[in-house]
Amino acid sequence: MSSIPASAEPIDPLDPINPIEPARTEVARRDRSERRGQLMRHWPSFVALAVIAVFVIAWLARDSLTEYSPSAVRPLRALLPVGSPGSPLGTDGLGRDLFSRVLAGVPFSLLFGAVPAAAGMIIGAAIGLVAGYAGGRTERVIVSIMDVLLTFPFILLAILVSAVLGASLQNAMIAVTLSILPKNARLIRSQTLSLKHREFIVASRLAGAGALPIIVRHLLPNVLPTALIVASTDVGLMITLTAGLSFIGLGVQPPDVDWGVLVAEGARYITSAPNLAFIPSIVIATVSIAFVVIADTERRILRSSQ
């Protein structure tokens, strides 16, 4: 067996010809490259978050960005084109500044998106967890009710509920929440069915744990990531849906304004001043897509972590 000669010198880690150092450098380079690759894969979500942040910051700084009130009527400034001094997005038929009205619609539109999406997922998750874990007659009754609701087209169910309850901000939010409830409940139920026979659930049941502790401590944490992803996607969908309700007069009522109201008002001048309808429509599409992109990034991260 060969041995190291006595005259051989020990390897110096700082020696420029040391073979260990290039290997470490290569590993560090691969780590940096991998981190850079992960960052580049997630860059659409950074852009989406920046878009949403821009709208929120602009609304918070609205007093310094525009001198006009969103409800101020100025007949002499009616139907000014895009790029007009003091009104960069133009004015409507009553001379109201479109830029200030778009900013005024930010809280209503984002609220319309976030609250129904969160409520729909919370209630839907609760129903799905109970139906999936309980099984038997309880599951059959819940599934039957959800199936009945699913027979109605998505937008038609929202319109029907709004028409029955009356046109208002609160009723529109209830309507869109009910419209996504069946989908969310069925999704969480299917996940619960795949989890309730797993070893850790069976062990908890054999240990004497009740249904509620098992649902809260074991099932809920496992379905929560999927619920958050679906809720993020639903925010963009809810913004579009509630804008549609406002467009047909079943959402936000004057003097309040959201982006759907702006599209409805701008549609009257679609030939003479198309910017009044196109700009709010572009805003709705941009913000809705931003939330969908964020949800897609969450889905990718969850998939890579599994």
Model confidence pLDDT, tens digit, residues 260-272: 999 999 999 999 9
Q: What's the rounded Cα separation, in Å, for the pair 37 and 49?
A: 19
Other CB atoms within 10 A of residue 180 CB: 25
> 300: pLDDT confidence band, cut at 50, 70 and 90?
confident
CATH superfamily membership of 43-305: MetI-like (1.10.3720.10)
Model confidence pLDDT, tens digit, residues 178-206: 888 999 999 999 999 999 888 888 888 88
Query: For residues 94 and 276, is the Cβ–Cβ distance under 8 A?
Result: no
For the chain, the domains span: 43-305
Instruction: Choose the most confident range, by mean pLDDT, from 25-34, 38-47, 86-95, 253-262.
Output: 86-95
Report residue 249 as tokens: 């007069």
Model confidence pLDDT, tens digit, residues 213-235: 999 989 999 998 888 888 888 99
pLDDT (0 to 100) of residue 188 = 94
pLDDT (0 to 100) of residue 13 = 46
CA 98-76-262 angle, to 5 degrees, is 20
Query: Residue 251 gets which letter from DSSP?
Result: S
CA 145-117-299 angle, to 5 degrees, is 105
Model confidence pLDDT, tens digit, residues 79-117: 999 999 989 999 999 999 999 999 999 998 898 889 999
> 20: pLDDT confidence band, cut at 50, 70 and 90?
very low
